[in-house]
Amino acid sequence: MSPQVLRWYVDGVQFFTVTQNQVGSYWSNMTSHEGYFILLNVAMGGAFPNGVAGYSTPTSGTRSGVPMLVDYVAVYTKGGGSTPTAGPSSPAPTSGSGTRSAYSTIQAESYNAQSGIVPGSDQIGYIAGGDWARYDNVDFGGTSPKDFLARVSSGAASGVSGTVEVRIDSLAGAPIGSFSLANTGGWSSFREVPGNVSAVTGKHTVFLTFASGQPADFVNVDWLVFRK
């Protein structure tokens, strides 16, 4: 049997791994019990930040009293041959094929087609006016949503903004919902923004389109979901 592994990710990018073989008997001490917790810590000095930075910390440029901001924390588990499943604090991924429920989280990078967008491991980015992403077979059922919610970020320059729009079945159709967005504090500073939508039921192709009066990129998108 392959050794068990713990992997750490930040925004979908793996940055640290520990295997069962590396720690020997400590592994069973760590995993042979129920009840775990996640410690989120701001370290201003010591072996850990020194080892990551490659020099002694804190430095003269270190400022105390700055709060740590955490967007979300997710824990994934994987059984033999199964697909990893996210804990309740993380939006559940959806398949890039087959029928999607409009009322389950649609990961932005799971599009069926796109134009002008740069995909990441867990988001889409470098999005400007005229870009779009298409999501096929989105099922709204017999109940129309009251609005939609998208997790977005923007590091756009001052004066640069745009609109995130939802269209149904055709890029040429009028948007059924939208919201405007300007700088959120940085390209990694995500926030969840709602937008009202017109009545829609049944199964449709959903287009996420983007409009802006400037040619510059103005938004990254992590996920979207419709709400009843």
Q: What is the pLDDT of residue 2?
A: 64
pLDDT (mean) for 203-213: 96
Q: Write down the mean pLDDT value for the chain.
A: 84
Position with higher pLDDT, 69 vs 11? 69
**89: confidence class by pLDDT, cuts 50, 70, 90:** very low
pLDDT at 87: 41
* Interval 18-39 mean pLDDT: 79
Q: Which amino acid is at 142?
A: G
DSSP 174: P
| Of residues 132 and 27, more confidently modeled | 132
CB contact set of 21 (below 8 Å; sequence gap of 6+):
3
What is the per-residue pLDDT across 98-149, written as a single tens digit (0 to 9) for each?
789 999 999 999 999 999 998 887 899 999 999 999 999 999 999 999 999 9
Cα distance between residue 221 and residue 124, in whole Å:
5
**Rounded Cα–Cα distance for residues 192 and 148 (Å):** 10
pTM: 0.59
pLDDT given at position 101: 94
Q: Which residue has the higher pLDDT, 133 or 28?
A: 133
Give the span between the Cα atoms of 178 and 166, in whole angstroms. Answer: 6
Any idea where the domains of the chain sit in the sequence? 5-86, 100-227
For residue 179, pLDDT beyond 90: yes
Tell me the DSSP string of the chain.
-PPPEEEEEETTEEEEEEEHHHHTTHHHHHHSSS----------SSHHHHHHHTS-SS-TT--TTPPP-------EE--TTPPPEE-TTSPPP--SSS-EETTS-EEGGG-SEEES-EE-SS-EEEE-TT-EEEEEEEE-TTS--SEEEEEEEE-PPTT--EEEEEEES-TTSPPSEEEEE---SEEEEEEEEEEEB----SEEEEEEEEE-SSSS--EEEEEEEEE-
Q: Give the number of other Cβ atoms within 10 Å of residue 114's Cβ.
A: 19
Topology annotation, domain 100-227: Jelly Rolls (2.60.120)
* Higher-confidence position of 81 and 201: 201
Supply the pLDDT for residue 82. Answer: 43
Report whether pLDDT(53) > 50.
Answer: yes
d(CA 218, CA 189): 13
Give the pLDDT score at 96: 41
Cis peptide before 3, with omega less than 30 degrees from 0? no
